[in-house]
Amino acid sequence: MSKNRFLPGKHHLVLAVNEAHRKIGHISSAAIKHAVSKGFIMGIELDDSSKPEFCEPCTKVKSLRQPFPKESKTHATKYGERVHWDLWGPASVKSLSGHHYVAARIDDATRETMIYFQDKKSETFESYKKDEAYIETQTGNRIKVVRSDQGESSWLSKLLSTRTKGEQFESSLCMTPCHKMEQQKGECE
């Protein structure tokens, strides 16, 4: 392992690739080399003679990460049986039709996606009711399970307090840190 050193007459720190890997948050050595060469990371230079080394902390973290499931154990068999909802926004720029939010619904059985453009978050419950009516009139099926990340819970609270058709709610665990539970966040993410 080389010692940190400054280049004479310059204000650049010379680091071995492995030292840079540890100091810049354990990003890959290829990403570090690219970022330094393109000027995205300034103030350091990489020692050309250094080579990436084994990183025990990176290996430990990767071994703790759960694999993405190959197939859902709760996959729906009928259209509308299980739907995944997500609310996105506010967009910093309005859409051409003047909306700041988008509510998305994915049907678990067919992967059909419906998009509802909205002016406000509070319109999500109305979008859900429109979608529920669409599913019932087009197929005769009723929504049995609604899955969402609880990112905007006011529409979910309204749904849970008014569910007269027996819908169940499932959380997709969005409130857990993304780097730990990305595998569990759900279809809409």
What pLDDT is stored for residue 107 in this prediction?
93
What pLDDT is stored for residue 135 in this prediction?
93
| 10-residue stretch averages of pLDDT, the chain, 189 residues long | 52 82 83 84 84 85 69 78 89 85 91 91 89 92 84 64 68 48 47
What pLDDT is stored for residue 189 in this prediction?
47
What pLDDT is stored for residue 150 in this prediction?
62
Q: Mind giving me the DSSP string for 142-160?
A: ---EEEE--SSHHHHHHHH
Residue 40 amino acid letter: F
* CA angle, 179 then 59 then 55, to 5°: 115
What pLDDT is stored for residue 119 in this prediction?
92
| Domain boundaries of the chain, sorted by first residue | 5-64, 82-184
Question: Is domain 82-184 classified as CATH 3.40.1160.10?
Answer: no
